[in-house]
Amino acid sequence: MRLLALGLLSLLTLASPLGAQVRTKVDLVNLSPEIKAGGKALIALRYRCDPHFHIYWKNPGDAGASPTVEWSEKSGTAISGFIWPGPRLLDQSGVMNFVYEDETLILMEVSVPAVHTGKVTLKGKAEWLECDDKGCWPHDKLVELTLTLGALNSAYKYEPKLYPDLREALKTTGTSDGKMLTVQLPAGRKLNDIWFPERNFVTPNATSKQKMVGEGLVFELRDATETLASGPLNFTTRAEDGSFLNLHVDLQNGAAGASPAKGESHAGASVGWLPWSPQAQTAALAEGKIVYIDFTARWCATCQVNKRVYTQDDVIKAFADKGVVRLKADWTKKDDIIAAELLKYGRTGIPLNVFLKSGQPPAILSEALTGTEVVAALKAVSSGQPYQTAATTHPFAVWLLLAFGGGILLNLMPCVFPMIGLKVLGFAREAGSDRRTVIMHGLLYSAGVILSFLALAALIIALKSGGSSVGWGFQMQSPGFVLGTCVLMVVLGLSLTGMFEIGTGLAGTAAEAGDKGGSWGAFLSGILATAVATPCTAPGLGAALGFALDKERSTAETLLFFTVIGLGMALPYLFLSIFPRLAALLPKPGEWMETLKQAMAFPLFAYALYLLWVLSALVEDAAWVRDAGLGMAVIATACWIWGRWGAPHRTNRERLIGKSVAIILFILTLAHLYVGLN
């Protein structure tokens, strides 16, 4: 029984921080001493980052998001887009980003109407992503600035030479063979600093590896997510006097020499997947393309099942015919940008699949995809017809029904499937037991499920109140939790094969009616069922979870939703417990139970292999992933020793030695693996 508690222990000991302190000060400052009606003034968002923290340029690089501001009051003025200072290259263990550190002023131009009198009040909400080498955290702040017409305004000093948009851009030429881009240096200029691409026609890694060949600068185009021909070729770089300059490159061989983005043909039809980013999405929509986004993760079993749709001929043809740009938003690892994007669609978890087209509402697909639905949604979007939006206009009772139904359907999801056989065995064993005991076990199992859902809801609420972006299945982004679940699946599977016994009955499930271990096992099996259910999302449950975790929901409403989901998941088993005659329809206890028990070990082993595959994406150290595979073999050996030499027919001395060796192997292996995660 103690090993069953590992699932709950892992859930309650996640390494995620409970909150994130704001480490960047942001305010709105004036840069113009004199402001006239009919004239223009410069203002700036001032970002002051703590040591080791940074924010991002307009092209963030490999990861990140650029700062934004949304105005709520402008006093009739017109405010330009951002005027960016030149960035610096930051290498974080091979992840290349274009960033700002310390103090940064992002300029804007304010055009004051000629008839304006009095003061100008500007109010807005600034949003930014601040990062260090440990993680990233999104923040926002309301900013305000009052300007007075005349010459009495205090002005913050700034360095104009840091802003390439304040001076004329240099022009030069370039050529490409599809694999390399060669840009000629402007005549008479010494530009030896890094050239930063304003969009992703050159990857950040290729930016860091640019090299001088003769009078030209050479960039690799491999792995670029945008084509040379899909927009202007602009760079920003530092000149010999320390000022930043913009360079516009005229590609001499035009679109014919441009390198197609990975997964895209010259004809423009998308035949592969590109990594999602806000910039990639915006660029594709600006070109008039239909965009399909697959929000996915390795740990999301429902997502993996959905991927079968993308191999169907009618779906492949439909994507190609419409030139759909397919973007994959991989949420395997914690990513606050993707978490924030999910919230825009009213979701806090995955799967989420959506079609986008400029000027149209998003077409949100079902959690369980079919090829027919994908083709129908694409047809609707391409013809300008609405399909399905993230509607939140349902009555509260309807959302509760969706949550309840989704909870019931969770029992049919691939994550929970390995547990179904164990419960069938339990009801078969209980069919002839005292009815009161059977009902008690059903209630205890239901209590385990519901309390686990409530604990999960409370943890999500606490993390969100602390500023973290988390949602359904968030614990699967923790390597420690995934490793613990993997070990648990291996141990339970070995127990089912008969290698050893956990407690006195059927892998410690609720199968042992009539003793204390069976009652405790019923409760813990409810906890285990909830723990393995979270990588899956049943049809309708994703939208209900998004509604439940919306910031407008009270804590009580959120807890009610999770209670209803737990009731739905526990209902089939509770129903069989209350009406044991239905369980009597199962075959009578006999040899078939032992056969089924051993057969159910293989889905558990398959799930453990799936979790190892998830770990290989969560942990970048290939040596650790290798050790994890070997560690499972050592854990299996420890279980074999426990069952072989810890059996009741052995002498006390043999049992003591055997169990001691097994425990030492088990603990040392787990310790080695968990220490390697840090």
DSSP, res 164:
G
For the cut 50, the answer to whether the pLDDT of residue 390 exceeds it is: no
Could you give the CA distance from residue 102 to residue 55 in angstroms, rounded to a whole number? Answer: 9
For the cut 70, the answer to whether the pLDDT of residue 452 exceeds it is: yes
Burial call 219-242: b when 16+ CB within 10 Å, e when fewer:
bbbeebbbbbbbeebbbbbbbeee
pLDDT of amino acid 434 = 65
In a domain, 644, yes or no: no
Task: Kindly report the backbone phi and psi dihedral angles of residue 262, in degrees, each rounded to the nearest multiple of 5, phi listed first.
Answer: -55, 125
- Using CA of residue 218, residue 220, residue 224, residue 230, what is the dihedral sign? positive
In a domain, 83, yes or no: yes
In a domain, 211, yes or no: yes
Asked if residue 345 lies in contact with residue 364, where contact means CB atoms within 8 angstroms, the answer is yes
Residue 437 is part of which domain span? 398-618
Number of domains in the chain: 4
- 465 lies in the same domain as 481: yes
- 292 lies in the same domain as 349: yes
pLDDT of amino acid 510 = 34
Across 41-49, average pLDDT: 95
Please, what is the average pLDDT of the chain? Answer: 80
pLDDT of amino acid 126 = 93
- 430 lies in the same domain as 548: yes
Encode pLDDT of 143-173 as tens digits: 999 998 888 788 999 999 999 999 888 999 9
Could you give the CA distance from residue 203 to residue 182 in angstroms, rounded to a whole number? Answer: 15
pLDDT of amino acid 398 = 78
Grade residue 234 by pLDDT with cuts at 50, 70 and 90. very high
For the cut 80, the answer to whether the pLDDT of residue 10 exceeds it is: no
- 33 lies in the same domain as 138: yes
Joined together, the tokens standing for residue 330 give: 């991989």
pLDDT of amino acid 421 = 60
In a domain, 466, yes or no: yes
- 99 lies in the same domain as 146: yes
- 85 lies in the same domain as 174: no
Single out the residue in 321, 354, 382 at which a domain terminates.
382
CATH number of the domain to which 28 belongs: 2.60.40.1250
- 307 lies in the same domain as 335: yes
In a domain, 112, yes or no: yes
- 411 lies in the same domain as 505: yes
Q: Using a cut of 0.85, tell me whether the model's pTM lies above it.
A: no
In a domain, 337, yes or no: yes
- Using CA of residue 321, residue 325, residue 330, residue 336, what is the dihedral sign? negative
For the cut 70, the answer to whether the pLDDT of residue 518 exceeds it is: no
Across 349-353, average pLDDT: 87
- 474 lies in the same domain as 365: no
In a domain, 650, yes or no: no
Could you give the CA distance from residue 627 to residue 498 in angstroms, rounded to a whole number? Answer: 26
- 402 lies in the same domain as 476: yes
Single out the residue in 618, 635, 658 at which a domain terminates.
618
Estimate to the nearest angstrom the gap between the alpha carbon of 141 and the chain centroid: 24
For the cut 50, the answer to whether the pLDDT of residue 586 exceeds it is: yes
- 277 lies in the same domain as 252: no
- 477 lies in the same domain as 605: yes
In a domain, 491, yes or no: yes
Share of the chain above pLDDT 70, in %: 81
Q: Which residue type does 655 have?
A: R
For the cut 90, the answer to whether the pLDDT of residue 239 exceeds it is: no
For the cut 60, the answer to whether the pLDDT of residue 605 exceeds it is: yes
pLDDT of amino acid 56 = 94
Could you give the CA distance from residue 330 to residue 333 in angstroms, rounded to a whole number? Answer: 8
pLDDT of amino acid 403 = 82
Single out the residue in 230, 257, 284 at which a domain terminates.
257
CATH number of the domain to which 327 belongs: 3.40.30.10
